[in-house]
Structure 1
Amino acid sequence: MTTIPLKIIELQGDGYHPLVEVFIFGKTHLLVLDTGASKTAFDRELLQEANEEAEFLESDKLSTGLGTNSMASFTATIHDMQIGTLRIPAFEVAVLDLSTINHAYGQLNQPQVLGVLGGDILMQYKAVIDYGNETLTLISY
Structure 2
Amino acid sequence: MTKITVPLQMIDLHGDGFHPLLDIMLFNQPFKVVLDTGASRTAFDRELLLAANENAVITASEHLSTGLGTNSMESATALIQNLWIGSLLIPEIEVAVLDLSTINIAYSQLGHPEVLGVVGSDILVKHKAVIDFGKKVLVLK
SS at match of 1:23: strand
Q: Which residue does 2:65 correspond to in 1? A: 63
- For 1:75 and 1:29, locate their aligned partners in 2 and report how far apart those are by CA, in whole Å: 19
Q: TM-score, normalised by structure 1?
A: 0.97
1:1-141 paired onto structure 2 within 5 Å: 1-139=3-141
* Structure 2 unpaired stretches of 5+: none
Deviations 1:75-97 (A, max 9, x none): 00000011111000001000000
- For 1:68 and 1:50, locate their aligned partners in 2 and report how far apart those are by CA, in whole Å: 26
- For 1:109 and 1:100, locate their aligned partners in 2 and report how far apart those are by CA, in whole Å: 14
- For 1:44 and 1:23, locate their aligned partners in 2 and report how far apart those are by CA, in whole Å: 17
* Structure 1 unpaired stretches of 5+: none
- For 1:61 and 1:122, locate their aligned partners in 2 and report how far apart those are by CA, in whole Å: 22
Higher normalized strand content (fraction of residues): 2
Identity %: 60
Q: TM-score, normalised by structure 2?
A: 0.97
1:14 Cα shift? 1.7
1:67 Cα shift? 1.0
- For 2:35 and 2:77, locate their aligned partners in 1 and report how far apart those are by CA, in whole Å: 19
Amino acid at match of 1:56: I
- For 1:62 and 1:74, locate their aligned partners in 2 and report how far apart those are by CA, in whole Å: 9
Deviations 1:91-115 (A, max 9, x none): 1000000000000000000000000
SS at match of 2:107: helix
Moved over 3 A (4+): none
Q: What RMSD, in angstroms, separates the aligned Cα atoms of the two structures?
A: 0.5
Aligned length: 139
1:13 Cα shift? 2.1
- For 1:13 and 1:67, locate their aligned partners in 2 and report how far apart those are by CA, in whole Å: 19
